[in-house]
Amino acid sequence: MRVAITGSTGLVGSEAAAVLSGAGHEVARLVRRLPAPGEKAVRWDPAKGETDAAGLEGFDAVIHLAGENVGAGRWTPGRKAAIRDSRVNGTRLLCEVLAGLARPPKALVCASAVGYYGDRGEETLTEGSPPGAGYLAGVCREWEAASAPAERKGIRVVALRFGMVLSPKGGALARMLPLFRAGLGGVIGRGRQYVSWVALDDLPHILLHALQRGDLSGPVNAVAPRPVTNREFTEALGKALSRPTPLPVPAFALRLAVGSEMADALLLSSARVVPLRLEETGYPFRFPELGAAFHHLLGKKETP
């Protein structure tokens, strides 16, 4: 396949580009700068509303992963607008361009997030569950709706709702590791909130599965099949590192540190999400269990 990827320098995008290229697929990156001569790249600048439409002709598929990091800074009004606009406006621009091509791709896989479901306690959530409330849920609804121009064109669109992506290379786990390695990790709040997670090693293969399965469209939960509580997550990470996890982090301290809205949405909310559509279509998870995933990601030998 010829595949174009936005967000190809990010944690997930760089891994996806490497795996797809290694599997023999031709990968082109969408970049904001002018591509170098001979480089497999297409220029686009979503902030300026500019895309090299001619450069996107004839691709078999597009993977759209671009968007501001939701956890990179405190949620000021400006930061929240940037998070929303980078996802909604970027997706709409890309889909309008793809819809106008003479030879559009057959499939478009767009990133979304389990933030779509909001804070839902112990409720088991599938792709058919209704959206939740709050800022992140609203962003996810708009984000997914922005792909409508591509759907109207007849492009098969998959919205992958990512859970917490686990990798020591970046993201939430990379930020946790220094504290846990120092023996300072602990349960967040009451520890009862569910964490829906996925190992980075699985994501390129989930993306490829979504591209190749013609019966997959609409929302698809990109999470491991067994979500865990924050307490279980904390204990599993401590065990993988052979470190104690004695120090709970009170909810009020998190709210003071990063702001109430961000703390509640990213650290204290509960989403018990399962990958029903991936399981129905036979995706073979490499890391369905959290303990094994941690030991693999951290290069540790698992003990009974």
Q: What is the pLDDT of residue 289?
A: 97
Distance CA 88, CA 82 (A): 10
Q: What is the pLDDT of residue 62?
A: 97
Rg (Cα) of the chain, in Å, rounded?
Answer: 19
Helix (H, G, I), strand (E, B) or coil at 185: coil
| Cβ atoms 44, 32 nearer than 8 A | yes
Distance CA 281, CA 1 (A): 20
Spans in the chain with pLDDT lower than 70: 301-304
Tokens of 82: 């940037």
Q: What is the pLDDT of residue 301?
A: 66
Q: What is the pLDDT of residue 296?
A: 95
Q: What is the pLDDT of residue 253?
A: 84
pTM to 2 decimal places:
0.94
Distance CA 154, CA 157 (A): 9
Q: What is the pLDDT of residue 39?
A: 86
Q: What is the pLDDT of residue 44?
A: 93
Tokens of 141: 């609804």
Q: What is the pLDDT of residue 303?
A: 54
Q: What is the pLDDT of residue 302?
A: 59
The helix (run of H) or strand (run of E) holding residue 162 is: strand 156-162
Q: What is the pLDDT of residue 215?
A: 93
Q: What is the pLDDT of residue 226?
A: 97
Q: Burial, 246: exposed, middle or buried (Cβ in 10 Å; 0-12, 13-18, 19+)?
A: exposed
Q: What is the pLDDT of residue 250?
A: 86
User: What values do phi and psi take at 78, rounded to 5?
Assistant: -65, -40
Question: How many Cβ atoms sit within 10 Å of the Cβ of residue 164?
Answer: 19
Tell me whether strands 194-195 and 228-229 are parallel, antiparallel or unpaired: antiparallel
Q: What is the DSSP string of 3-19?
A: EEEESTTSHHHHHHHHH
Q: What is the pLDDT of residue 249?
A: 87
